[in-house]
Structure 1
C-alpha cells in the first residue's frame, strides 16, 4: 500500500475514533447539559410579590416538591401554573409570577423540578412531568381551583412540561414562551455534528404532542433568540389547534422578553377565546 494512502487511512481512523469518543462523552453528560439547576444554597431570591407563600407537595413517586404560590382574591379568578426553564430555580421567575398575577388577576403557582431549589431528587424528563402533575393536583385539591380555570404556562424547557400537562389535564389555555419543538431539535441547533435525534434520551417532544392539546394555545417568541431558534415556535403554532395566537417580538432574545410586550395580548386572547 502506498505510504500516502496509509496516512490517509490512519487519519480517517483517528478522526472516526475521536468523533465516536465525543459522541460517547455527550451521551454520558446529557442530563448535566440539559438540566442546569441551582440549589437553594447556591442561589435563592426573595419573592417579587409580598403575597407569595411557600408550599410543599409530593409527586407520585414520593419526591418532595417545593413551590411558591401567589393567591388571587378568589378561586373564581383561576390560576396560572408556571413550568420553569432548565436553569436556576423558581426564585428566578419571581418577576414573571408577579407580572402574571398583576396582569391576569389569577393566582400563580411556581414549582421546582426535582433537584432544583429546595425540591428533593434529581432532574429527569419524567421527574419534570411528575412534578407538574403534583403542582396541578395541589391547585385543584388544596387551592380549590377549578380545572377549567387553570392556565398552563411553560417557558423554554418548561414548555415541555406544560404541553405534557395539557395533553392529560383539563385547563383553560396553554401558554408557551420561547419553547422548542423537541429537545433533540434544539440540541441539533447547537451541536449540528452530533446524532442527537438518535441518541438523546431526554426528548420533550412538543411538536408531536401539541396537536393533542384541545384548548386555546398562545405562543410568544423573540426573533433574536439564540438559544431556541425562532422557527421552533412557528412550527408549534402551525401544528397547534385553533384557537391560537403567535406573538412575534422583534429583536428579543431568549431571556429578554418584556412582559408588557405580550401580556396585554394574552389578556385579550384569553378574554376572547377562553373566557
Structure 2
C-alpha cells in the first residue's frame, strides 16, 4: 500500500509539472479483492466442472498444494504456472474464466512459500517443483490420457519453459514471457542511462532463458503478450516468435491489454482452439 501511494504521488506530480490534466483516483487503486473461484462459479462457466484440492510432495519433501479442475470430455489438460506470488485462492479467477470454456482440465498450484504451499522459493526449487507437478499430472489416471499443455504467465512462463527441456510435453503457452533476463532489463533501462549503469545478475536468474528454449522446442506453441505491456514489452514476445523453431507457432498480441489482463476478452479463444486442434492432429 505504501509503494502504491508513492507511485500515485509521483505520477500526479509528473503530470502536474508537464500538463494540465484530470486525474481519477478510484477505490480500485487501493482495494484489491481476491480473485479465487468456487465450484458454483466454475459450473456457471462449464456445468460439468469438478473442483478437487490436491497435494503433492516435492523432491525435497515439501508439500505443494493446489487445485485440479476436471470437465467432461476434456480435450486436454492445462497445467497453469502463475506469475510471481501466484496464489490459487487469490488469482485463479481470470485464467479459469478464460480456459474452462475451452473444455479442458486445469491444474494449478500455489508456488512454494505462498498460499497453502510450504517452503521457501528459489529459482532452483521452483524449477524442480514444476517437474514434480508435471509428473503428478502424467501419473494421474483421471487426466493422464489427454494431451498436456503447459501455460506459464510471467515468472511461470520461464518455469514452464524449463519443463520442456526435461520432459516431453504436447503444447506450450508463454504469456507475458521474457526472452532472457538480460534482454528484459535492457528494454526497461532508458538508453541515456545505460552508460552509467552496471547490472550484476545472480546465477539463478541467468538460467531463465526462454529465447534459448524456443529455439529448441518443436511442438505447438502459443505466445501471448499485451499490446501495452510495460513489464515484459511486446518486443520480447516478437523475438520469441521470430526465433521459435516450432512449425506450429502463433503470436497473439492482446489489443489494449497490459501484463496481467491478456486473457480477458474473447480474442484469445480462437488462438487456443488452433493450439488444441494442433494437439489433436499431432496425436493422430
The residue aligned with 2:254 is 249
Q: Equivalences for 1:87-106 in 2 at 5 Å?
A: 87-91=85-89, 92-103=91-102, 105-106=103-104
User: What is the aligned length?
Assistant: 232
1:222–1:251 Cα contact (<8 Å) kept: yes
Question: Secondary structure of 1:212's match?
Answer: coil
In 2 relative to 1, CA 194–71 (structure 1 residues): closer, same or farther, beyond 3 Å? Answer: farther
Verify: 1:142 aligned to 2:146, yes or no: no
- Please tell me whether the aligned partners of residues 222 and 249 of structure 2 are also in contact (alpha carbons under 8 angstroms): yes
Alignment of 1:32-71 (within 5 A): 45-47=36-38, 48-49=41-42, 51-71=50-70
CA distance in 2, matches of 1:199, 1:57: 29
**Where do 5+ consecutive residues of structure 1 fail to align?**
1-41
2:275 paired residue number: 269
- Which moves more between the two structures, 245-254 or 264-273? 264-273
> Residue 52 of structure 1 aligns to a residue in which SS?
strand
CA offset at residue 274 of structure 1?
A: 4.7
Pick the aligned partner of 1:225 from 220, 224, 229.
229
The two structures have a TM-score, normalised by structure 1, of 0.76
In structure 2, relative to structure 1, the CA distance for the partners of 1:189 and 1:78 (3 Å cut) is same
Q: Give the root-mean-square deviation of aligned CA atoms.
A: 2.4
| Structure of higher CA gyration radius | 1
Shift of 1:200: 5.8
Q: 2:205 is paired with a residue of what secondary structure?
A: coil
CA 1:147/1:227 → structure 2, altered by over 3 Å: closer, same or farther?
farther
1:88 is displaced (CA, Å) by 3.9
1:195 aligns to what?
198
Q: What SS class does the counterpart of residue 110 from structure 1 fall into?
A: strand
Unaligned runs of 5+ in 2: 1-32, 44-49
Q: Which residue of 2 aligns with 1:185?
A: 183
For 1:260, what is the secondary structure of its paired residue? coil
For residue 108 of structure 1, give the secondary structure of its aligned residue in structure 2: strand
Match of 2:242 in 1: 238
Question: Superposed, which structure 2 residues align to 1:100-139 within 5 Å?
Answer: 100-103=99-102, 105-139=103-137
SS in 1 for 2:229: coil
With the length of structure 2 as denominator, give the TM-score of the two structures.
0.73
